[in-house]
Amino acid sequence: MLPVSKAPAVAPSTTSFPGSQHSHVTQEADDAGPSTSTSSSGVTQEADNAGLSPVEVESSTPMPSTTPGSLSTPPLDPADWPTVINDKVRIDLVSRGPAHVDHHFTFPKRQSDNRRFHYHFMFRSLTNGEKVKRSWLTYSQKSNAVYCFCCKLFSKQSTKLSTDGQQDWINIGTLLKQHENSQDHAKNVLSWKELEGRLRKGETIDQTELSLLEAERNRWREVLIRLVSIIQSLAERNMGLRGSVDTLHVNNNGNFLKEVELLAKFDPVLKEHVRRIDSGANHTTYLGKTVQNELIACISDTILRTIVVQIKESKYFSLILDCTPDVSHQEQMSVVIRTVDLKNTPEIREHFLGFLLAHESTGLGLSTLILRRLEELNIPFEDCRGQTYDNGANMKGRNKGTQARLLKKNPRALYVPCAAHTLNLMVADSAKGSVDATNFFGVVQKLYTLFAAASQRWAILKDHVDLTVKAWSETRWESRINSIEPLRYHTVKVREALLEVREKTNDPMIRIEAQSLAEEIGSFRFQICTVVWYDILSKINTVSKLLQSVNMQLDIA
């Protein structure tokens, strides 16, 4: 269930979903398909089939992008390098260059043997006495170890200098000489310098591939933007997405796929996307039911976070709760939070946060459920200043009701019963004490049942009366005015319709019932009840509508 609010435009390229199990939707949209991580979700699974080269950097440290040919980005400490070094990371690190310390830097001593690295090891002594700086040697201030810059990037052999860093300060001089004289090191230095030169000229071998990858990533981003917009449009109108089949260009494939087909006729991005799917060039479609559900959840999470931000900005709020069973006979509690927006002109806002499945309908169960939900959303209940429910015993109970338990948690969360529901209960309880009222509404219900049970009888009623008899609600008494309105102004015509039903039906039970009802509504007592209850319910209906209007103020209520 989407929280009720104006859904913000969700662009997968710019919107992230932290803390959500669906956050990979946006990540993969930016990566133009697959990533190196594995997931059982639909979006990731489909991205794995996209056939694109992985470009994801597996590092806790963000890697700013660098432009080929520019070596101005600061070097990165080797301890911060990502575990997996792919082509994109390698280009970035070569663009940065190795990290070097200043000759004034004081190297820390190791506690175990009180030894440390010395700056003079950064230089190599030639046979003629000349000292040459080891440009490939880089020192990590975080791990207190030295690394070979080029071997860590290019070497397939596992050595201390190319993996975890060398810390053997006793033998460091000998180890460095052995390393720089090795064939593997010489090959890696050559690879480093060749790549560095190509970067300066902007002539990397992977440049064309990266350009194609960037274009593909942008295409997927544009596709996802359109798919999210379609889902938003359908969800805002409470329209279903799926049909009986999940295939393009077939009947009964649902509103979502039909919208995709429609936009593909005019939009070049979706037109190309559908063409690739039809031709079999795209194994990834992002049109499946799993992706639809994940995108809906992502949109919902985004809206919910926006609502929570608005609630916190307003600080104080009130709770409006109501419970009702769904079609599966499970109790669902709707959660609405009311706030006052003071940014410009003060405005009262109500935010629907969704339904909560209530396993217990007791005051303890419902109060625990709402407190847990507020805690999950990081909304402090201490800022609650009001609570409003119906007049059910489990809600309004003075000692064990939901309002009483929440009031113990926060004495400032004052309980105000629903005025419209209170009015409705008052009328219902008053009517139960009158035998005439009970009989009157019993006859009205029998009238509706008789005419609505057969289309032939309903047609007879419509031939005599413009206003048809309507069923009335057991709980909303103000709605019963619609049921007795035809009787208030067209009693004679309704009676004539009953007599015609009696004459034209062959069922003896129906004939008897029609005759009995015709006599009942023609009686003086029934006529008096019709006029009295119509006048009473007219006034009650007016008051009830006013109490539920959006402009109703506390002083008027």
In a domain, 148, yes or no: yes
- Predicted pLDDT at 29: 37
In a domain, 553, yes or no: no
- Predicted pLDDT at 475: 67
Write out the residue range of the structural domain in which residue 350 sits. Answer: 315-417
Same domain, 407 and 361: yes
For residue range 151-189, list pLDDT tens digits in order. Answer: 999 998 888 999 889 999 999 999 999 999 899 999 999
**Partners of 146 in the beta sheet?**
139, 166
- Parallel/antiparallel/unpaired status of strands 145-148 and 137-140: antiparallel
Structure tokens at 175: 């180890």
- Predicted pLDDT at 72: 47
- Predicted pLDDT at 432: 80
Domain boundary, last residue among 310, 336, 356:
310
Q: What is the CATH number of the domain that holds 392?
A: 3.30.420.40
Same domain, 319 and 385: yes
For residue range 406-416, list pLDDT tens digits in order. Answer: 999 999 999 88
- Predicted pLDDT at 357: 92
Distance CA(101)–CA(108), nearest Å, equals 13
In a domain, 472, yes or no: yes
Q: Which residues contact 388 (CB under 8 A, 6 or more apart)?
A: 318, 319, 320, 321, 415, 416, 417, 418
Task: Determine the average pLDDT of the residues in 71-93.
Answer: 81
Using CA atoms of 272, 273, 274, 279 in order, give the dihedral in degrees to the nearest 10.
Answer: 80
In a domain, 286, yes or no: yes
For residue range 185-203, list pLDDT tens digits in order. Answer: 999 999 999 888 888 877 6
More confident residue, 418 or 238: 238
Same domain, 461 and 518: yes
In a domain, 556, yes or no: no
Same domain, 95 and 154: yes
Same domain, 456 and 537: yes
Same domain, 348 and 264: no
Task: Determine the average pLDDT of the residues in 528-556.
Answer: 83
Same domain, 190 and 95: yes
Same domain, 187 and 140: yes
Residue carrying the six token digits 């008899």: 469
Same domain, 115 and 40: no
- Structurally, the chain folds into a number of domains equal to 4
Distance CA(381)–CA(379), nearest Å, equals 6
Give the pLDDT band (50/70/90) at residue 1: very low
Same domain, 62 and 210: yes
Task: Determine the average pLDDT of the residues in 131-145.
Answer: 92
- Which ranges of 315-418 would DSSP assign to H, the alpha helix? 363-376, 393-396, 402-409
In a domain, 541, yes or no: yes
In a domain, 552, yes or no: no
Distance CA(510)–CA(494), nearest Å, equals 16
Domain boundary, last residue among 396, 417, 438:
417
Same domain, 289 and 212: yes
The reply to whether the predicted model has a pTM over 0.85 is no
Same domain, 407 and 443: no
In a domain, 555, yes or no: no
Residue carrying the six token digits 């057991």: 474
Domain boundary, last residue among 310, 340, 362:
310
